[in-house]
Amino acid sequence: MIKIMKKILLLIILLAFAISTSKAQDEILTAKGDKELSQGKYEEAVVNYTKALYKNPNNYITYYKRGNAHLYANNLDSAIADYNKFILQDTTSADAFNNRGVAYNYLGAYDMAMMDFTHAVNLDSGFVEAFVNRATAYFNIGLAPQAFSDFKRAEELKSDNPQLYYQRGRLYYYQKKYTESIEDFSKAIKLGLKNSKIYYNRGNSYFKTEQYEKAVKDYTKVLEQNPNDTEALNNRAVSYEKTDKKKLAEKDREKLKTLMVNNPDFTPFDKITFKRFEDKDKLVSIELPQNWNMVIDETPEYLDIVLTPENVKKIDDFYLTGVKVSYNKNMMKNYGVSSPDSLLDFWKGSLNKNVEEYHTYKPISQKTYPRNGFKAHTNKIIMKVSKESPTLKMYESAYAKEDNLIYLYLQAPEQQFTYYEKIFDKAFETLIVR
């Protein structure tokens, strides 16, 4: 009997030691993840948080931390999944609701985002960032009065938050209240927000109020941070012309021509003449610059269209800048998928197979949204097919409805994308798919 008791006691001691060791490993891995997260090594942090959760799946704070790492790495769906797991265990964390709202906001799910931001401020009425975030969500869906109300509340709580003034400045600019936008952008800069975007936006506000010399100074600040920012170069050139500094304007335009190797006749966006391109059956219709070339390949099963400023003759010709539209019919017959969700999952799966072969594929943002009866999904990415190939920045977008899957790729060299982004955004706005 004594021998049996000793064995049982030994077993309990060993089990306790194993549990203690597992917890120690969990804490070590979580600490590694915390350090990597603070260093901006988000993917590495995800790996260590995942290992920690394998050791101790009941440590729900690690789900929250991994959600933050996913959020900063733009893995938005994964971030939301982790926040969901954490919130199931803790419904009182305002931070968790706010961060999940940020992920929803980036995905374009503004209703879900606003619900989370509202939950966050209900839990913590002094949560300034949640008020600013909810204001931004209101702004994104065009509810300006509600946005201004939240900005006001945030300012009452904490008047030295630079993001508040930056985001409110954007709203003022959108409303063509340029003097107010300058005041807010200037406050944000004074409070320490000095990235290229805020100088670019304030420069545009100065330009709109005909303060061209101040606009030049702000565009110059942008170019100090990013010398190849084509939009800032173009706007500074125009501002130089307005102040009769033609030599400096010409110098900027010469640099633009060098950067825009595929479009030496670089045209300011507001001077571009757009044309509607479409196939003979008008399945796809889209507006792009009138001097772009279009090639089409069509069969009973699919329609492929390439539109580019480059000299292409057939659908498979290489191009750096342009738009490709692929309209795939009879998806149920050909691939066994038909519902919108299944079609988008099919597209994402095909995309993932290609990504495995790319040298670089870095997501910047992603969102899912309804569009004219279609369910749509859009990614914004940076990619490089091989080590030797040019780095491209692009939109990947898919539209699904009934038995049809339509996807688009809108791409340009990374250093030129700032210019082409406005053209691509207009293409999205004018896209008609039947």
Q: Write down the CATH number for the domain with range 269-433.
A: 3.40.1000.10
Q: Which of 286, 316, 299 is nearest to 395 (CA)?
A: 286
Cβ-in-10-Å burial (0-12, 13-18, 19+) of 76 comes to buried
In the prediction, which pLDDT does 209 show?
94
Give pTM, 2 decimals.
Answer: 0.62
Q: Which of 25, 49, 26, 28 is nearest to 37 (CA)?
A: 49
Q: Which of 191, 190, 249, 239 is nearest to 218 (CA)?
A: 239
pLDDT at 17 over 70: no
Q: Please, which contacts does 249-253 make with residues 24 or more away whose CB atoms are closer than 8 Å? A: none
Average pLDDT over residues 244-252: 91
pLDDT digits (tens, 9 = 90+) for 218-241: 999 999 988 878 778 888 998 999
pLDDT at 20 over 80: no
Assess contact for 370 and 306: CB atoms under 8 A.
Answer: no
Q: Work out the pLDDT band at 336, boundaries 50, 70, 90.
A: confident
Q: Write down the CATH number for the domain with range 24-192.
A: 1.25.40.10
Q: Which of 334, 315, 353 is nearest to 405 (CA)?
A: 334
Q: Work out the pLDDT band at 381, boundaries 50, 70, 90.
A: confident
pLDDT digits (tens, 9 = 90+) for 255-310: 877 776 544 456 777 788 999 998 888 888 899 999 898 988 888 878 889 999 88
Question: Rounded to an integer, what distance in angstroms lies between the CA atom of residue 148 and that of residue 165?
Answer: 11
In DSSP notation, 390-402 reads: PPEEEEEEEEEET
pLDDT digits (tens, 9 = 90+) for 123-177: 999 999 999 999 998 888 888 999 999 999 999 999 999 999 999 999 999 899 9
> Which residue ranges make up each domain of the chain?
24-192, 269-433
Question: Rounded to an integer, what distance in angstroms lies between the CA atom of residue 304 and that of residue 329?
Answer: 11
Q: Work out the pLDDT band at 407, boundaries 50, 70, 90.
A: confident
In DSSP notation, 130-179 reads: HHHHHHHHHHHTT-HHHHHHHHHHHHHH-TT-HHHHHHHHHHHHHTT-HH
Pairing label, strands 293-298, 392-401: unpaired
In the prediction, which pLDDT does 123 show?
96
E strand or H helix at 383: strand 374-384
Show the DSSP H helices in 327-416 as ranges.
331-335, 340-355
pLDDT digits (tens, 9 = 90+) for 25-78: 888 888 988 999 989 888 899 998 999 888 888 889 999 999 999 998 878 888
